[in-house]
Amino acid sequence: MREKGKNLATHEDIQKLIAQIQKTTEATEQIKAQISGGLWEQQNRWTFKRDLYIRLLENLGITYHCTTRLLEIQGYDAAERQRLQTWADDLDRQQSDAVAEVLRASAVAMIVVDAIARAALIQFEDQITKARQEPTFLSFLHSQRSAVQATYDHSASLLVMISSWKGSRDDEEREVRPGSRRCAPARASLSRDG
């Protein structure tokens, strides 16, 4: 009888231990799921932010490149400008599209970018608005290029952040800066000869 009682007590202890292990396992799995979900959400936010920064910088680069080429064309004599008019029109369209894309992306960016980038984007929008009020095309181009350059200067933290991403961008993609033809690979083939 004593042996039977001992076995029964041991069996109850084992049952309690099994129940406790099951509760611990369930709690562990819940914690793992919460951590995994949190990391997934954090990674998605980071990816969205990275893609937005890249979109902004690429379009700023396109704007700078096209505006600089348009300024060069404005320095030519009238006959040369007339010869390059088709190319100039294409550059003007590209820079207008890129500015519009920066302004569209800025609306979304305001909720995810850091304070330095927010300030730079607000300043960019203000400067572009002022540039559009310039009396001549040449003064507009100078103002617009200054706006792009100032945005880059104030957003240096973006370039540092992008270049520090581990394994997510190769060297060519990291070299996004004003005037770099890498900013607009499809447009880099444009030449003065049209």
Q: pLDDT per residue over 79-124, tens digit each?
A: 999 999 999 999 999 999 999 999 999 988 888 877 877 888 899 9
Do the domain assignments include residue 19? no
Confidence band, pLDDT 50/70/90 cuts, at residue 183 = very low
Position 33 scores a pLDDT of 76
> How distant, in Å, are the alpha carbons of 63, 67, 89, 143, 149 from that of 132?
14, 13, 17, 9, 16
Which residue did the predictor score with more confidence, 124 or 27?
A: 124
For the chain, how many residues are written?
Answer: 194
According to DSSP, residue 177 is labeled: -
Do the domain assignments include residue 160? yes
Q: What is the dihedral of CA 137, 72, 92, 170, to 10 degrees?
A: -140
Do the domain assignments include residue 65? yes
Do the domain assignments include residue 106? yes
Distance (Å, rounded) from C-alpha 53 to C-alpha 159?
Answer: 9
Provide the whole-model pTM.
Answer: 0.64
Supply φ then ψ for residue 77, to 5 degrees. Answer: -70, 170
3-class DSSP assignment, residue 103:
helix
Do the domain assignments include residue 111? yes
Do the domain assignments include residue 162? yes
Position 153 scores a pLDDT of 74
Q: What value does the mean pLDDT take over residues 61-78?
A: 94
Do the domain assignments include residue 41? no
Angle at 84 between CA 80 and CA 86, to 5 degrees: 155
Asked which of 64-68, 136-140, 165-169, 184-188 is least confident by mean pLDDT, the reply is: 184-188
Domain that holds residue 162: 49-183
Question: Do 50 and 168 touch, CB atoms closer than 8 A?
Answer: yes
- Domain count for the chain, please give it: 1
Distance (Å, rounded) from C-alpha 149 to C-alpha 71?
Answer: 15
Widest distance between CA atoms in the chain: 117
Distance (Å, rounded) from C-alpha 46 to C-alpha 55?
Answer: 14
Do the domain assignments include residue 194? no
Distance (Å, rounded) from C-alpha 44 to C-alpha 7?
Answer: 55
Confidence band, pLDDT 50/70/90 cuts, at residue 131 = very high
Position 159 scores a pLDDT of 58
Position 151 scores a pLDDT of 84
Confidence band, pLDDT 50/70/90 cuts, at residue 19 = confident
